[in-house]
Chain A
Amino acid sequence: MIKNGKLFGKINVFDFIVIFLAIVLAFGIFSKFVIFSDNEKQKIDLTYEILVKSVRQETIDAFEIGQGVYEKGSNYYIGEITSVKSEKATDLMETLDGKVIEAPIDNRFNVIISVEAKGIKDQNGLVSVNKCKIFDGKDINFDTQKNRCYGTFRNMQIK
């Protein structure tokens, strides 16, 4: 098959590898910008909240307005914090008289972080910011500069 460094005695092996890689590269660029382009995706501005349950005051203090929010793992930037609110945390409890109540928890708080971002909406109506899909009820592990938290998206609104 290879004679004197030439495939089938005709094509130089190195030339073949170079041409093959060039074709792969060209296909990659073509598919990225032409076949799978964002033509059918609409650019949007959006806001959403992330609810983080049952944390201590120190965690709330470590969130800062203007900080970036990043999906843990992929490290995708998914927006900027615009406000931080907190409320007393509660959890379900069955009391001695058999009732199930939302019982308050001492020194624990639920934090609601409001986030503003630029994203895209695809033809199916799914909204994403930097490949991270955003919809109400979806759980997310996320990082800010000082915090790593587990929260839930809610109240997503397209501006």
Chain B
Amino acid sequence: MKKTVKYLIEAIVIIAVLAVALYGLSVIKPALFGAKDYKDIEITVEFQQVKKEFIENINIGDKMLENTQSTYFGEVIEVGELLPSIFLVSDYENGKYIEVESSEYYRRRVVLKGNGRVFDNAIKLGEISVKVGGKYGLIFNGNLVDGTVMKLQVIE
């Protein structure tokens, strides 16, 4: 009887320790538990307020990496027009904030095709949670340029 109680208590403790360890793992690496299938994701990125030479030579098929974790973001499948950059300035005379174009800086949108995991609260490329409006340092053609994500579309 005494031994049975002892084994029971030991079993409870071992199960509790395992449960705590699994819970900890699920917090640190949720992908291991809630991982969904990888899906193709189209990511529209806008480069804004950039010198012309950094973005004039983007071509379909170019690959882009995220700077901090060297995560593969995707391959360029669409290249938008190279346009003068837009700055928001104060128009004190007319009492409004207006957008004006600059002849020194440029903007361009590109669409990338990447592969990531889709969760209820995030879309992840590698371990990076990609959000609309989020700014990411992207490496391509030997340059590092900040791009803002404008649209995310999961290809079903």
CA of A101 to CA of B94, assembled, Å: 11
CB-CB < 8 A to B13: which residues of A?
A: 18, 21-22, 25
Please state if A145 and B9 are interface contacts (CB–CB under 8 Å): no
CB-CB < 8 A to A148: which residues of B?
A: 129, 131, 133-134
CB-CB < 8 A to B38: which residues of A?
A: none
- What bracket does the count of chain B residues touching chain A fall in? 20 to 34
Asked whether B123 is an interface residue with its Cβ less than 8 Å from the other chain, the reply is yes
Please state if B88 and A101 are interface contacts (CB–CB under 8 Å): no
**What is the predominant secondary structure among interface residues of chain B facing chain A?**
mixed
Known: A103-B96, A105-B88, A145-B119. A18 touches B151 (CB 8 A): no
Asked whether B92 is an interface residue with its Cβ less than 8 Å from the other chain, the reply is yes
Contact of A59 among B12, B90, B97, B132 (CB under 8 A): B132
Chain B 141-156 interface mask (CB, 8 Å, partner A; 1/0): 0000000001110000
16 A-B pairs besides A19-B9, A22-B12, A93-B97 with CB distance below 8 A are A18-B10, A22-B13, A25-B12, A58-B133, A68-B121, A93-B90, A93-B95, A96-B92, A101-B95, A103-B96, A104-B97, A105-B96, A143-B121, A143-B122, A145-B118, A146-B131
Going nearest first, the 3 A-B pairs with the smallest beta carbon separation are A62-B132, A148-B131, A105-B97
Which residues of A are in contact with B by a Cβ distance under 8 Å?
15, 18-19, 21-22, 25, 55-56, 58-59, 61-62, 68, 70, 75, 77, 91, 93-96, 99, 101, 103-108, 143-149
